[in-house]
Amino acid sequence: MAYHLNYIDDMDLKFTKRLKILFTLIFTLGFSQLNFAVVATEGGYSNKISIFNGETIKFYISTSASSYQIEIYKIGENAGLVFTSSTIQGGLQFIPSDAYKNGCNWSTSFEMVIPNDWEPGVYKAIFPVSSAQFENNGEIIFAVKTTNLGSFSTIAVILTVNNWNAYNNFGGKSLYNYNSTNLQKADKVSFERPFTLSSISDFHNWTEKLINWFVTENVVAEYITSVDLYQDPDLLSNYDVVIDVGHDEYVSLPERDQVQNFVNNGGRLMILSGNTYWWQVRLEDNGRTMVCYKDPNNDPELGVNDEVVTTRWYDYPLFNPEIKLTGVTFREGGVVNYEDGVLPKSQGYGDFAVYNSHYWVYNGTGLKDGDEFGYDASIVGVEVDGNDFTWQNGIPTVTGNDQAPTNFRIFGLSPADNRENYPNGHGIMGLYFTENGGAVFTASTLNWTKGLPNDVDVQKITHNILTQFLKNTFPPEIVSWTPGETISKIINQESVFINDRENIFLSDPSLNFHINAVDPRGEAINYIWEINGNEVINSNSSDFIFNNTVPPGDYTITAYAYNSTDTSQISWNITTANSVTNYAVSGTIVYDNISASPLSNVTVQLTPANGGNNLIVTTDANGNYSFNNVVSGNYDLTATSSTQFPTNFINATDGLLVARYFAGLQTLNPLRLNAADVDNLGGVNATDALIIIRRFANMISTFTKSDWIFETKQISVTNSNLTTQNLKGIATGDVDASAQGPF
């Protein structure tokens, strides 16, 4: 097999994913055999990527084997070998120079009628090739469909074959410059050519994990393709739940319209995908050729039929943003744990922070607002979608300024490195309902299904959504409530907010509780309130007054909102303070420099020494902070900061001071000594000096230790307020404390 590599200059976000494969080839085959667009001579494709029982499937194969057999395996439920062909004469087939857009036009190698007793599902045909890149096997993925769609399962999973085709550069070109000959992408790509290993990885990385998880859940599904949705405008009417998985970036107008009609008519859509519905494409030649100019000015349909021009959905001349259907967009998302080192897992990225944990989506997980899940599997990445939101009472709330449905509820949040000039990119997991009872859940990340093999939270959340979507009954949504304290918190080095219902102190004669609930289907809502599990009589109201006439202690207040089929609930933990006196603790956080510059936006935490709930506040512009409602006891006072670390915080003098200290020529106060230990090994030596110099010279971008260090205190609150509980902070490596504010 011959390979050709050209230099990459395309800024497309996907190119780094392909670099790993190419670098593997470099070290395996040697530079002399490479030249940057992989031109394969072996492979195979079929006349149809999805096929009905009883139809004839044809395989077109080019292989260096002199003779071979095709083996067909079912994937997922009842997996295994289902067919072995007779011996077929091998040989390489000619690849036309325009194969990438007009197809390979190979001779038929083998054909067969799909037996009527083959279960609907995904199958793969295996045949031998000589390339180690393909592990010495060629592979053709195809779906088998029952002629009575929806009779085997009312769940349809979309195989995103448009995406496979977009990235496929067999024959020399794809829809991307980086892996196309002469670094010039194609405007049209053909389905009548083999999929390369990198293009079919979309299936193996994401869809196959969902199929295998279905086996553990005893879930059966039917499988359709992007092309099926283009060719059959009524296809989804056969199903109740549709699942879009992995990467569905390239979508035709008939496909999008059909999915939109499906949810508008009460269908339930699960988008376990990211970078979803980004480009519009057209299919030609009865679905065998895919068109995507990307630049609308190059598309001959511009000014002729603008609604089918192949560009980004939100862009000129379409102005039909995908967010209206999906609730999210890559435009406001970005990349996380990306292969170019942006927001890496090593710094804590790759998971979702939990919000609205009282929703049924989180039932059985034990997760609470502010918790994180999915880190081990890096479920947030590589590309994620988001929307415009604001903070309301400690809850991220969609604004609708970007045409996202305003009833979109945010369940998960992750910072993202935005690539579309949006100021605050985020990955956002959430759900909304349509006026006619449809529902759309989006995980908003390519990697969601990577959590299905082993992450119990991802498994449970996916189970909850699929189960509820199949039931097609939904409880009322509790969308806001009082009381609740808004507290700031640092998650993934980002300052966010949490609505805390765990630390409510009641010293007044009474406290008013209120929930605002809406029903997705417009049903009547009834209410029940409980105190410590005991129902309150005559409480069919969204309001409840808790009178402080009970003995001092801890109480759980729970509100239930229910319709004819389902129930939602939300709880508060309160402490009655009849005999409890509350105090204030306050102070200032400053930088350990000669100016004692105040440090703003520092998170200050008061932690009970004997256990209990932490109190968290943030310093103001003058570095001041204040805790109220502090009960008597011993506490640890600590501080952290997520302020960006400018390179001018450190200089060569810092390295010199560390070297002098190590040589016994310099003394340092405890805070600056801590700042000098940049390798975080508990001591200061010449290595720390070298590391500081390397960062000053921009040879490294981080220290092993976090970028900020603060003093800590142990304080005792007895019978009075505590003021002037001041702390000093310093940037790691700034041993001479030369950094100056304002911070």
pLDDT at 11: 36
Work out the average pLDDT over 587-611: 92
Q: Which phi and psi angles does 135 have, rounded to 5°?
A: 55, 35
Burial 416-428 (b: 16+ CB within 10 A, else e): bbbbeebeebbbb
| pLDDT, tens only, 394-427 | 999 999 999 999 999 999 999 999 999 888 899 9
What confidence category does residue 578 fall into, taking pLDDT thresholds of 50, 70 and 90?
Answer: low
Cα gap 486→42, rounded to integer Å:
61
Q: Does residue 402 contact residue 332 with C-beta atoms inside 8 Å?
A: yes
% the chain with pLDDT above 70:
93
3-state secondary structure of 253: helix
Of 175-179, 271-275, 387-391, 615-619, the least confident: 615-619
The b/e string for 691-708 (b: 16+ C-beta within 10 A; e otherwise) is bbbebbeeeeeebebebb
Q: What is the residue extent of each domain of the chain?
A: 4-37, 43-239, 245-277+322-457, 499-576, 583-743
Query: For the chain, first and last CA: distance in Å?
Result: 59
Same topology between domain 499-576 and domain 583-743: yes
* Banded model confidence at residue 36, pLDDT cuts 50, 70, 90: very low
| Cα–Cα separations (whole angstroms), residue 109 to 44, 62, 200, 285 | 9, 9, 21, 22
Q: What is the pLDDT of residue 30?
A: 37
- Those residues whose C-beta lies under 8 Å from the C-beta of residue 379, and which sit 6 or more positions away, are 350, 351, 352, 373, 443, 445, 447, 448, 450, 451, 455, 458
Considering the chain, what is the average pLDDT of its residues?
91
Residue 556: both structure tokens together: 């759980």
Token pair recorded at residue 384: 């994620």
Q: What is the Cα Rg of the chain in Å?
A: 30
Structure confidence at residue 421 (pLDDT): 87
Q: What integer is the mean pLDDT of 559-568?
A: 97
Residue pair 462/377 in contact by the 8 Å Cβ criterion? no
Output 685 or 15, whichever has higher pLDDT. Answer: 685
Residue 610 pLDDT > 70, yes or no? yes
Specify the pLDDT at position 13: 42
Residues 327-354: what's their mean pLDDT?
Answer: 94
Residue in the structure block whose two tokens are 């801590």: 674
pLDDT at res. 644: 84
Q: Is the pLDDT of residue 642 over 50?
A: yes
Query: Residue 64 in 3-state DSSP?
Result: strand
**Cα angle value 343/346/350 (rounded, 5°):** 55
In sequence order, the 6+-apart residues with CB closer than 8 A to the CB of 216 are: none
Calculate the CA dihedral of residues 332, 333, 338, 341 and round it to 10 degrees: 50
pLDDT at 719: 82
- Residue 537 — very low, low, confident or very high, per pLDDT cuts 50/70/90? confident
Q: Can you name the residues that pair with 708 across neighbouring β-strands?
A: 731
**pLDDT of residue 33 exceeding 50:** no
Is the pLDDT score of 438 beyond 70?
yes
Segment 471-489 mean pLDDT = 95
Cβ–Cβ contacts within 10 Å for residue 648, how many? 11
* Alpha carbon 443 to chain centroid, angstroms: 6
Among 2.60.40.1930, 3.40.630.30, 3.40.30.10, 3.20.20.210, name the CATH number for the domain at 43-239.
2.60.40.1930
Structure tokens of 287?
Answer: 């679905």
Distances (CA, A) of 594 to 591, 597, 598, 732, 737: 9, 8, 12, 17, 8
H/E stretch holding 496: strand 494-500
pLDDT(380) > 80 = yes
At residue 35, the pLDDT reads: 36
The tokens 């609150």 sit on which residue?
Answer: 717
pTM above threshold 0.85: no
Residue 497 CA to residue 495 CA, distance in Å, equals 7
| Helix, strand, coil % in the chain, rounded to nearest 5 | 20, 35, 45
> Token pair 């004692």 is at which residue?
596
The Cα 9–Cα 2 span in angstroms is 22
Give the angle 345-12-34 at the CA atoms, nearest 5°.
95
Kindly state the tokens that stand for 200: 């079919």
Tokens standing for residue 208? 């196959």
Average pLDDT in the 100-120 region? Answer: 98
pLDDT at residue 538 in the model: 67
Q: What is the CATH architecture of 499-576?
A: Sandwich (2.60)
Helices (H), 385-455: none
**Is residue 127 classed as helix, strand or coil in its secondary structure?**
strand
Q: Output the pLDDT for position 340.
A: 82
* pLDDT > 90 in the chain, percent: 82
- The answer to which of 43-47, 134-138, 705-709 has the lowest mean pLDDT is 134-138
SS3 readout for 701-733:
CCCCCCCEEECCEEEEECCCCECCCCEEEEECC
Instruction: Please report which helix (H) or strand (E) contains residue 124, including its range.
Output: strand 121-128
Mean pLDDT of 681-708: 93
What pLDDT score was predicted for residue 136?
Answer: 64
User: What average pLDDT does this structure show over 429-445?
Assistant: 97
Q: Is 136 left (phi over 0), alpha (psi -120 to 50) or beta?
A: left
Look at residue 590 in the predicted model and tell me its pLDDT: 96
Q: Give the CA count within 13 Å in the CB-facing half-sphere of 618.
A: 16
583-743 in CATH: which number?
Answer: 2.60.40.10
pLDDT (tens digit per residue) in 142-177: 999 999 999 999 999 999 999 999 999 999 999 999
Q: What pLDDT band is residue 551 in, cutting at 50, 70 and 90?
A: confident
Q: What pLDDT is recorded for position 7?
A: 26
120-129, 372-381, 419-428, 533-542: range with lowest mean pLDDT: 533-542
